[in-house]
Amino acid sequence: MEDVLTLYAEAASAPDPARPVVCFDEQPLVLHADAHPGQPCAPGRPARVDYEYRRQGTGCCLLAFAPHDGWRHVTVSAHRANADFAHAMRYLADACYPDATCIRVVLDNLSTHTAAALYQTFPPAEARRLAAKLEFHYTPTHASWLNMAELELAVLTRQCLKRRLATLADVTREVAAWQAPRNHAAVGATWRFTTTDARTTLARLYPQLA
């Protein structure tokens, strides 16, 4: 826990473009389509949507969020497998931060969130190149709330995904439309829970010295 909190404090007080801090998380989604056509709004009458829907399968949103830079990127995938994580990390390293010497990634303990996923997806030399550029910082078990990517996923859900979207193409289009203005406005996050707070509020979680 203190590792992640120290990382946040350091990035907020002394940002280093060569060593950015990026929070990463994933969110599964269920695709729904209208079973019956809705009715558009008309003068004096709101739009109408039938309560019945058809389930169209599932997908996943993989979100990388740089809270101190006010930047995020969402990848929409059909799965949440090792390869999806590996490709998201390569995009982060090569497209988002090509000049960084080290990208410090905060993420939870999902089984796919390991350097092994890189080796299972790419040739050894490519996997090693990416692994050397990525520094993983894991939140403790049952403490994924320490990952600021969860805050951004909550906003994504509330502002974009909390409605019927029938295909992954629909989700991709709508997520891109949501993401662009937030990046343009450099919407970030200010983390206020510090190591000092943790040692006071969560004292019960620390070993008790005799």
pTM for this model (two decimals): 0.90
CA distance 78 to 88: 13
Identify whether 111 is part of a domain. Answer: yes
* 148: containing domain: 2-36+51-203
169-206, pLDDT tens digit by residue? 999 999 999 999 999 999 999 999 999 999 999 988 88
CA dihedral 6, 134, 95, 129 (to 10 degrees): 160
Q: What is the CATH number of the domain that holds 119?
A: 3.30.420.10
pLDDT tier at 208 (50, 70, 90 boundaries)? confident
CA distance 168 to 29: 10
Identify whether 42 is part of a domain. Answer: no
Q: How far is the CA of 162 from the CAs of 7, 36, 91, 138, 207, in angstroms?
A: 32, 19, 27, 28, 42
Identify whether 124 is part of a domain. Answer: yes
- Looking at the structure of the chain, the number of domains it has is 1
58-92, pLDDT tens digit by residue? 999 999 999 999 999 999 999 899 999 999 999 99
CA distance 24 to 105: 7
Q: Tell me the three state secondary structure of residue 119.
A: helix
